[in-house]
Chain A
Amino acid sequence: MTGALATLLPLAQIDTGDTAWILASTALVLMMTIALGVFYTGLVRAKNSLNTFMMCVSSLAIGGIAWALIGYSIAFDGEGAILGGLGHVALNGVGFEPRGEGTIPHLVFFAFQGTFCILTLALVSGAVVERMRFGAWMVFGALWSVLVYAVLAHWAFGGGWLAENGLLDFAGGVPVEMGSGFAALAAALVVGARKDYGRQALLPHNAIYVLLGAGLLWFGWFGFNGGSGLGTNNASVLAFVNTMLTPACALFTWFVLDLVRGRRVTAVGAATSIIVGCVLITPAGAFISPGWAMVLGFLGAIPCYAVIVWRPRTRVDETLDVLAAHGIAGFTGILFLGLVAQVGWNGVADGLFYGDAGQFWSQALAAAVAPAYAFGATFVLLKLVGAVMPLRASEHDEAVGMDVVFHGEEAYASGEGAILVQPEADGELLVADPS
C-alpha cells in the first residue's frame, strides 16, 4: 500500500521544469519519424511513395513495441559491459520515481529514449525502399530494434563498455547515427539493388516534400538534442543553440560545394545538408562551444558531400544515402568532439586541442567499434531473416510499385476507372449496380 501510494506522491528530486521540457521533447522526437517519412517519400518515385512512408509509420509500431517489451531493458537496465539486464522487461519497475540521479520520472525517460529507437529504425528503411517486402521489413525491424539499436544504446548511454571507457556521446552519434548509417549499408548489400538501379534515372518525385521533411526534422531535432540534457540545464541550452548553428553552417558549405560542382545550388542538396548538420551536432551536442559547433558544420559537411557524390557511382544501391547523411556525419561528429570538447563549456572533459588526448582515443574507439557492430550484426540478422522469408519483391511487383502491391492503395489515386464495390450480406464483394 505504501509503495503504491509513494509512486503517486510528488518526489522531492523531481523537477517540474525538467519534466515539462522532456515531455515536450519526447513529442518533438516522435514527430521526427513522420518528418522522416515526408522526407523519404519525396525522394522516391510516386508509385512507391506510400510504402516508403509506411516503413516509417510501421517503425512507430514495431520500434515502440519492441522498446517497451525488451529493448529498453537491454539498453538501460544495469551497468553490464555488453548488455543490460532483463529487470525492466515490459516496463517492469519503470514508474514515477526518477531513474538514478535524474530529475524526471523514469516513465518520461523511458518514453524519450523510446522515440530515439523508433526514429533510428525508420532511418534504416532508407537503404531498402522501393524493393523490400513490407512483411520482411517489419520482422527485421522488430529484431533490429533490440539486437542492434538497444545494444548500441547500452554501450553509449546505458553504462556499457564504451561509456565506461570515457566515450562522450551527447544525443546518439553511436546508436542513432552510426548505428543507422552502417546498418543501412549492410541492408543495402543484403537486399540488393533495385532492378533499374544504374540503368534508369530514378528521381525524387516531389522535392517539396524533401524540403518540408528536412525542415520538420530540424524542428524536431531541437527536442532530440535539446532534450538530451534530460532537463532544462546548461547542457540542454547549449545543445539547443548548437542545433541551430551547425546545420546553418552545413547548409552554407553545401551551397558552396554545389556551386563548385554544378554551378547551381540544389534544393534536394539543401534538404540533405540540413540533416547532415543536425547529425553532425548530435554527438557533440553540449560538449563543444557554439564557435566550434559552427566550424563542425562548415567542415563536417565536406566528407558527407563526398560520399553522397561517390556512392551512386558504385553498384551499392543504398538508396536514400543513410550512410552518408547519418553514418559518415555521426562518425565525423564523434571524432570532432574528441578534438574540441572544452571543460569550460561542458564541465566534463577536454578534447585533444585542450590537452586531453585520451578523450580523443575514447571517441576513436567508438568510431571504430560502433560501425563494425552495426554493419556486422545487421548483415547477419538480415541474412537470417532472408533464410526464412524472401526479403525483396519480385521484378513484376517492383515494376508495378510497392504501393499497389503491398498496400492496395495509391498515393495519387485519380479515381478514374474505379468501380465501387458494395459489401454484400453473405460476405461476397459485388460490383455496385450503377442504376
Chain B
Amino acid sequence: MKLVIGIVRPEKANDVLEALYRAEVRGVSLSRVEGHGGELERVETYRGTTVKMGLSDKVRFEVAVSDAFVQPTIEALCEGGRTGEVGDGKVFVVPLEQAVRIRTGESAEAAVTPVVAR
C-alpha cells in the first residue's frame, strides 16, 4: 500500500484526472499548492512595484493505492502532466502505514479499494 503524490501544472490537472480515470484509478484528493521547481521566474509589475514571482501555482494529487496500482498511477501522473518544459512537477511514492475507510471502519487494502456510490 503506497501513497502516490503527484505535483503537476494546474492546466494539466484535467489531463491527469483523465489519465487516472483511464488507468481505472479511483479515489483521488487534490489541492492547490504553490511551489518552485526551477522554472523561469516571472517578473510582474504593479504601478511602481516590480516583483519576481518565485512560486508557481501547482496542483497536488494524493492517491492511496494497493501495490498493484502503484505503477499505473505513476504512469498516469507522468503521461497526463508532461509538457516537456521545466516545471512539469514531480511524483513521490511513500509507504502507507494504515488506511481506514471512515464510513465502514474497513482498514488496509479494503479501505483503498474504491467503491461506487449508488
Q: Which A positions have Cβ atoms within 8 angstroms of B?
A: 196, 200, 396, 399-400, 404, 408-410, 413, 415-421, 423, 429, 431
**Are the C-beta atoms of B54 and A396 separated by less than 8 Å?**
no
**Are the C-beta atoms of B55 and A417 separated by less than 8 Å?**
yes
Q: How far is the CA of A410 from the CA of B46 in the complex (A)?
A: 9
The majority secondary structure among interface residues of chain A is mixed
**Are the C-beta atoms of A429 and B11 separated by less than 8 Å?**
no
**Are the C-beta atoms of A419 and B83 separated by less than 8 Å?**
no
The 6 closest A-B pairs by CB, nearest first: A417-B55, A399-B11, A418-B51, A421-B50, A417-B54, A419-B52
Separation in Å of the A88 CB from the closest CB of chain B?
A: 38
Q: How far is the CA of A200 from the CA of B45 in the complex (A)?
A: 31
Not counting A396-B83, A409-B45, A418-B52, a sample of 18 additional A-B residue pairs whose C-beta atoms are within 8 angstroms of each other reads A399-B11, A408-B42, A413-B46, A415-B51, A416-B55, A417-B36, A417-B53, A417-B54, A417-B55, A418-B44, A418-B53, A419-B53, A419-B54, A420-B49, A421-B50, A421-B51, A421-B52, A423-B50
Chain A residues positioned under 8 Å from B71 (CB to CB): none
Separation in Å of the A396 CB from the closest CB of chain B?
A: 7
Separation in Å of the A246 CB from the closest CB of chain B?
A: 40
Q: How far is the CA of A416 from the CA of B36 in the complex (A)?
A: 12
Chain A residues positioned under 8 Å from B51 (CB to CB): 415, 418-421
Chain A residues positioned under 8 Å from B14 (CB to CB): 196, 200
Q: Is B67 an interface residue (CB 8 A)?
A: no
Separation in Å of the A422 CB from the closest CB of chain B?
A: 8
Q: Is B85 an interface residue (CB 8 A)?
A: yes
**Known contacts A419-B51, A420-B51, A429-B50; A399 and B45 CB within 8 A of each other:** no
**Are the C-beta atoms of A408 and B44 separated by less than 8 Å?**
yes
Q: How far is the CA of A355 from the CA of B12 in the complex (A)?
A: 62
A195's nearest neighbour on chain B, judged by CB, is B11
Chain A residues positioned under 8 Å from B34 (CB to CB): 416-417
B48's nearest neighbour on chain A, judged by CB, is A423
Q: Is B43 an interface residue (CB 8 A)?
A: yes
Q: Which B positions have Cβ atoms within 8 angstroms of A?
A: 9, 11-12, 14, 34, 36, 41-46, 49-55, 83, 85
Chain B residues positioned under 8 Å from A413 (CB to CB): 44, 46
**Are the C-beta atoms of A421 and B43 separated by less than 8 Å?**
yes
Chain A residues positioned under 8 Å from B9 (CB to CB): 399
Q: How far is the CA of A200 from the CA of B51 in the complex (A)?
A: 32
B56's nearest neighbour on chain A, judged by CB, is A417
Separation in Å of the B58 CB from the closest CB of chain A?
A: 11
Separation in Å of the B20 CB from the closest CB of chain A?
A: 15
Chain A residues positioned under 8 Å from B42 (CB to CB): 404, 408
**Are the C-beta atoms of A409 and B46 separated by less than 8 Å?**
yes
22 pairs, A vs B, C-beta closer than 8 Å: A396-B83, A399-B9, A399-B11, A399-B12, A404-B42, A408-B44, A408-B45, A409-B44, A409-B45, A409-B46, A413-B46, A416-B34, A417-B36, A417-B53, A417-B55, A418-B51, A418-B54, A419-B41, A419-B52, A419-B53, A421-B51, A423-B50
Chain B residues positioned under 8 Å from A399 (CB to CB): 9, 11-12, 83
Separation in Å of the B79 CB from the closest CB of chain A?
A: 16
Q: How far is the CA of A36 from the CA of B44 in the complex (A)?
A: 26
Chain B residues positioned under 8 Å from A418 (CB to CB): 44, 51-54
**Are the C-beta atoms of B52 and A404 separated by less than 8 Å?**
no
Q: How far is the CA of A431 from the CA of B51 in the complex (A)?
A: 9
**Are the C-beta atoms of A408 and B43 separated by less than 8 Å?**
yes
Q: How far is the CA of A415 from the CA of B49 in the complex (A)?
A: 12
Separation in Å of the A196 CB from the closest CB of chain B?
A: 8
Chain B residues positioned under 8 Å from A396 (CB to CB): 83, 85
A417's nearest neighbour on chain B, judged by CB, is B55
Separation in Å of the B62 CB from the closest CB of chain A?
A: 21
Chain A residues positioned under 8 Å from B12 (CB to CB): 399
**Are the C-beta atoms of A400 and B11 separated by less than 8 Å?**
yes
B52's nearest neighbour on chain A, judged by CB, is A419
Q: How far is the CA of A409 from the CA of B85 in the complex (A)?
A: 22
Chain B residues positioned under 8 Å from A429 (CB to CB): 43, 50
B43's nearest neighbour on chain A, judged by CB, is A408
Chain A residues positioned under 8 Å from B44 (CB to CB): 404, 408-410, 413, 418
B41's nearest neighbour on chain A, judged by CB, is A419
Q: How far is the CA of A400 from the CA of B9 in the complex (A)?
A: 9
Separation in Å of the B43 CB from the closest CB of chain A?
A: 6
Chain B residues positioned under 8 Å from A400 (CB to CB): 11
Q: How far is the CA of A399 from the CA of B54 in the complex (A)?
A: 18
Separation in Å of the A325 CB from the closest CB of chain B?
A: 28
Q: How far is the CA of A224 from the CA of B51 in the complex (A)?
A: 42
